[in-house]
Amino acid sequence: MQRAFLILISAVFLSGTRSPAVAPIPESEQAARAMAIIDGYHNPRPEQPPKKLQLVYYTPADREPADQYAQRLEPIMEDIQAFYRDGMQRLGFGPKTFTLPRDTDGKLVIRSIKGKSPEAAFKGWEGRNGGNTGAPEGGDKVKDECRPALEAAGIYYDRDTVLIFCHLASWDATAKTFRHHSPYFGLWDENLRMCFVADWASQNLVNLTNKTLMLKDAEYGRMSLGKHTTIFLGGIAHELGHALALPHCGERWDEKAMGTSLMGAGNHTYREERRGEGKGSILTMSSAMRLAANPLFNGSDKGRGVRPQIASCKFTLSTNLSRADLAARPGVLRLEGTVTGTPAIYGVIAYFDSVRDGGYRAPSATSVPDAQGAFAIEVSDLGRCANGELRVEFCHVNGTVSDSRLGLIVSADGRVDLSQWELRAALGPVASAVSENQTDDARTALQRLEEGSTPETTKRIARKLVGTLNGEVKPSPAEAPTETAELALGDARATSAEVGWLKPSANRIPQNAQITSPLLDSGALFATGLYAHAPSKYVYDLGGKWKHLNGKAGLHTLQQPFGSVRFSVKADGREVYKSDIIRGATQADYKIDVTGVKNLELIVDPTRDGNANDWGLWLDPILSR
């Protein structure tokens, strides 16, 4: 899990066929250029690194720490430290890695903390995404029980990066079976930099090469001890990556020969080359670029509390590549632009998520802006997708990151479709004014669209957005004139409405700090609809005067990697539609007979993992006679 500190940028997105003006910087040259910008801000650095990775060993109240945990975990952490160091060195940044805390004798410092909760308080999450990746309450329990002892030692969650080993795993040496119910995830935001992993008495670096002893894992099934060790040591390295501010990313086609991205599926391939079973895991250039300014790698925490600001940002997106080695390949895209901000920006990273699975398989590419802020990134072999995502990150020299996102479409024959970017670019001025409730500016922007050659679909979305500022009283469906053959529920008055977060809103996303755009965005943009963060219910009086309800439903684009909901419809109290659980980019389609129905309810329920990130949207729900 990653809770990244993001700033959504109001950028200009253009597509075109003009000749490229900026040449992409070869990846082999990027590290030196990035470090020149970083060094210009941080030099001279302190003699001693101001930040170290803090290690904690949590044991529930009714257990003792696993045998020889300190002796076992020291070589494990040194191996992971070396993995990051070697990756940074290979990519040109030098032998940079995180610093580990040691006592005066040079031994690794791991703070052992006895919890207040028994082991049973953590059971029930076995086999769910590595323990309870989707259930962070276990991590909250551990975090809260460790806090007093850590603060007494001068360690604070909002100042330090913390890795917590949880003795919440069970290994039966006779039956050769393993299961765990430990929190197992990492997160990073402006207030927390931490991760949770599991430990047990047989977790040992030397087991990486054991191909003979076979065991059964409750989640992963039958495998060798060596493969099992790869998965869990790789899990430590991967979740630590999140605590170090790394998002998920896959490997590009030209990186596959080296191995699997640690921040993709690389937790399952970590050090497998030592058993002769594969290429192992790699640190991608995108991960190294972000780590270069991280205080634990950079040896300086200057500007740690400074919030990043973007002064200007403009993109040009096209399929006109200047790199001859990519020209004949499918799925090509050029991202060119200028960006300036404070603290200074030393790196630009683009992630191309075709499957919207949280970025695990998203290839990435990087660049370094020049003195004027200009940069260019060119990629190829983008995965085919009808509803992918392009995410662009701007790396600031104090270790913070700004972010901007757009929909990504690559056709079956490998052509990048720029239509969604063009649509969002055209709607940008209207959406920006509506998000700030600036009625006059919104109307002026709409008038410009109306007078231009913008497609009618774009104009319709703009009209509906601006209409949300008018405060007009809408008719209930029962009151609509009989000559009205169709009525969008976004244009109708609900008898009652409730949502799980923020406030009910029609034809727009309500104003909030998390998702600043008011556009109804679920991969594609929709003109009408209902914001319905779970749990949610909209009730309408149909008066028995309508025949059908049809439309779509899905999650907001930015929450598709995280949320999960179920949509349902009741007619006069009887359930007439229920969707499957909706996750990711999946959408529900419905056409419901409402002949004679008087009372209509549109309901969105959370799933068992709670309602966090459950930004449900009813998309173009339309009544017809």
Tell whether the model's pLDDT for residue 16 goes beyond 80. Answer: no
Strands 53-59 and 110-114: parallel
For residue 258, with 0-12 CB atoms within 10 Å meaning exposed, 13-18 middle and 19 or more buried, which class applies? middle
Look up residue 93 and give its amino acid: F
Tell whether the model's pLDDT for residue 74 goes beyond 70. Answer: yes
Tell whether the model's pLDDT for residue 8 goes beyond 80. Answer: no
Specify the higher pLDDT residue, 387 or 531: 531
Residues with Cβ within 8 Å of residue 527, at least 6 apart in sequence: 457, 460, 461, 463, 464, 488, 490, 507, 520, 620
pLDDT, residue 269, reads: 98
Domain ranges of the chain: 12-18+303-417, 51-298, 427-472, 474-624
In CATH terms, is domain 474-624 a member of 2.30.42.10?
A: no
The mean per-residue pLDDT over the stretch 110-133 comes to 73
Structure tokens at 590: 């419905």
Residues with Cβ within 8 Å of residue 593, at least 6 apart in sequence: 547, 548, 576
Look up residue 509 and give its amino acid: I
pLDDT, residue 133, reads: 41
Tell whether the model's pLDDT for residue 603 goes beyond 50. Answer: yes
Average pLDDT, the chain: 91
Measured in Å, how far apart are the chain's first and last C-alpha atoms?
Answer: 46
How far is 76 from 123, CA to CA, in rounded Å? 26
In this prediction the pTM is 0.78
* Closest to 562 in 3D by CA, of 231, 141, 129, 181: 129
Phi–psi pair at 265, nearest 5 degrees: -95, 15
Tell whether the model's pLDDT for residue 130 goes beyond 50. Answer: no
Structure tokens at 388: 């992918």
β-sheet bridge partners, residue 236: none
Specify whether the CB–CB gap between 182 and 198 falls below 8 A: yes
330-379 tens-digit pLDDT = 999 999 999 999 999 999 999 998 887 788 999 999 999 999 999 999 99
The mean per-residue pLDDT over the stretch 450-472 comes to 93
Look up residue 121 and give its DSSP letter: G
Residues in the chain: 625
Specify whether the CB–CB gap between 584 and 622 falls below 8 A: no
pLDDT, residue 124, reads: 65
pLDDT, residue 20, reads: 60
What is the residue-wise DSSP string for 175-187? TTEEEE----EEE
Tell whether the model's pLDDT for residue 386 goes beyond 90. Answer: no
92 in helix, strand or coil? coil
Specify whether the CB–CB gap between 52 and 108 falls below 8 A: no
* Closest to 97 in 3D by CA, of 146, 53, 161: 53
Q: What is the CATH number assigned to the segment(s) 51-298?
A: 3.40.390
How far is 136 from 590, CA to CA, in rounded Å? 33
- Give the range among 116-130, 337-351, 425-439 with minimum mean pLDDT: 116-130
In the CATH scheme, what architecture does the domain 12-18+303-417 have?
Sandwich (2.60)
> E strand or H helix at 596, and its extent?
none
The CA-atom distances, in angstroms, between 44 and each of 41, 298, 299, 300, 343 are 9, 12, 10, 9, 17
Whether residue 455 is preceded by a cis peptide bond, meaning omega within 30 degrees of 0, is no
For residue 412, with 0-12 CB atoms within 10 Å meaning exposed, 13-18 middle and 19 or more buried, which class applies? exposed
Look up residue 427 and give its amino acid: L
Residues with Cβ within 8 Å of residue 61, at least 6 apart in sequence: 114, 115, 116, 117, 118
266-305 tens-digit pLDDT = 999 999 999 999 999 999 999 999 999 999 999 999 998 8
